[in-house]
């Protein structure tokens, strides 16, 4: 699996990753695990893979929810309707 991520450098601070790229990576990894578990000779236990996929998906969902909660409200009072971009992690 190949992945590239956009790093944001804050002078005097840490490197940041855009949240949408982090959640995309987590969901892609979960999908890759599911595909690998379906292979006959993978040696992966389906129950373990299912638990790991669930955990990754839950983390991605929480990151998405936190980013939505941080988005400014539009004039209509709804988050995300003003074209804002989720903040980096």
**pLDDT exceeds cutoff 80 at 52:** yes
pLDDT of residue 77: 61
The pLDDT-based confidence of 16 (bands split at 50, 70, 90) is: confident
| CB 60 within 8 Å of CB 26 | yes
Could you read off the pLDDT of 1-14 as tens digits, one per residue?
A: 566 777 888 888 88
Task: Give the SS3 label for residue 12.
Answer: coil
Q: What is the pTM of this model?
A: 0.69
Q: How far apart are CA 11 and CA 68, in angstroms?
A: 26
DSSP H stretches of helix in 1-89:
19-38, 46-70
């Amino acid at each position: 699996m190949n992945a590239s991520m956009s790093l944001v450098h804050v002078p005097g601070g840490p490197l940041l990753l855009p949240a949408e790229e982090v959640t995309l990576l987590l969901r892609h990894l979960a999908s890759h695990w599911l595909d690998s578990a379906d292979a006959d000779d993978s040696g992966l236990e389906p129950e373990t893979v299912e638990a790991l996929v669930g955990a990754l998906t839950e983390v991605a969902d929480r990151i998405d929810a936190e980013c939505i909660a941080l988005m400014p409200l539009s004039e209509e009072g709804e988050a995300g309707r003003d074209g804002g971009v989720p903040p980096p992690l």
